[in-house]
């Protein structure tokens, strides 16, 4: 069995409520093992055998539609991939202020991101770095007020889901068995 992480887009935070207990039950019924969640915003750690991230993403997305009657884009990655993304963090200030850094995860690297447009929209205090299929976005004055954060998908030209540094740290700890969900 391999440990996988699913990051659901647009769940929780007042967007679309999805009780994690119900999600855990639905995913267990789907055949995933040892399903654990972190907070009410669609962070799931689970075990599965002989499969791919693409297949799991599709299966989990279909499960959400079938059981909860809405669509949510699902990013699936391994614990190793999350660990590598976190190790590549170009903003070390995130450890002291984990709410200031968000990682935008994508299923693949964006083919033609509008970097110039991103630079025009970012506030003077904001910084971003695109590395393969992860965009690191440092917003020390607040993610929720950022004009760039609100338009990232369109400027990257690809669907994303974002998690702050604190959430990434907690989800990785759950995946590596250092804490429970």
| Cβ atoms within 10 Å, residue 35 | 21
Determine the 3-state secondary structure of 78 from DSSP: strand
pLDDT digits (tens, 9 = 90+) for 117-159: 999 999 999 999 999 999 999 999 999 999 999 999 999 999 9
Rounded CA separation 107/156 (Å): 12
How high is the pLDDT of residue 13?
A: 66
Structure tokens at 80: 């190793």
- pLDDT range class, residue 181, cuts 50, 70, 90: low
Is 130 in contact with 159 (CB distance < 8 Å)? no
How high is the pLDDT of residue 14?
A: 67
- pLDDT range class, residue 40, cuts 50, 70, 90: confident
Rounded CA separation 13/41 (Å): 6
pLDDT digits (tens, 9 = 90+) for 59-112: 999 999 999 999 999 999 999 999 999 999 999 988 899 999 999 999 999 999
How high is the pLDDT of residue 145?
A: 94
């Amino acid at each position: 069995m391999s440990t996988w992480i699913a990051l659901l887009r647009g769940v929780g935070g007042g967007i679309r409520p999805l009780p994690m207990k119900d999600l855990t039950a639905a995913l267990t019924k789907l055949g995933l093992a040892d399903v654990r969640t972190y907070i009410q915003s669609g962070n799931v750690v689970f075990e599965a055998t002989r499969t791919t991230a693409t297949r799991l993403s599709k299966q989990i997305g279909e499960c959400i539609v079938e059981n909860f009657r809405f669509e949510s884009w699902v990013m699936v990655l391994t614990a190793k991939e999350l660990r590598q993304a976190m190790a590549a963090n170009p903003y070390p200030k995130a450890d002291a202020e984990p709410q200031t850094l968000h990682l935008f995860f994508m299923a693949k690297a964006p083919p033609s991101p509008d970097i110039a447009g991103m630079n025009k929209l970012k506030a003077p205090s904001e910084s971003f770095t695109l590395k393969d299929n992860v965009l690191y976005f440092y917003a020390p004055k607040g993610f929720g007020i950022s004009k760039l954060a609100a338009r990232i998908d369109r400027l990257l030209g690809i669907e994303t889901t974002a998690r702050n540094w604190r959430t990434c740290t907690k989800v990785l700890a759950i995946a590596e068995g250092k804490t429970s969900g």
